[in-house]
Amino acid sequence: MSGETITIKGPDGSFSGYLSRPASGTGPGPKAGIVVIQEIFGVNKVMRDLCDWLAGEGYVALCPDLFWRIEPGIDITDKTEAEWKKAFDLFGKFDVDKGVTDIQATIATLRPMTSGKVGAVGYCLGGQLAYLTACHTDSDASAGYYGVNIQNRLGDAKGIKAPLMLHIAGKDEFVPPEAQEAVVAGLHGNPHVTIHRYPEMDHAFARPGGAHYDKATADEANDRTLKFFQRHLA
Residues tagged active-site? 172, 203
Q: Which residues contact 47 (CB under 8 A, 6 or more apart)?
A: 18, 36, 38, 39, 41, 63
Cα–Cα distance measured from residue 54 to residue 72, given in angstroms and rounded to the nearest whole number: 24
- Do β-strands 118-123 and 60-64 pair in parallel, antiparallel, or remain unpaired? unpaired
Cα–Cα distance measured from residue 142 to residue 131, given in angstroms and rounded to the nearest whole number: 7
52, with CB counted inside 10 A (0-12, 13-18, 19+), is middle
Bridge partners (DSSP) listed for residue 209: none
Cα–Cα distance measured from residue 211 to residue 25, given in angstroms and rounded to the nearest whole number: 37
Strands (E), the chain: 2-10, 13-21, 33-37, 60-64, 118-123, 142-145, 164-169, 193-198
148, with CB counted inside 10 A (0-12, 13-18, 19+), is buried
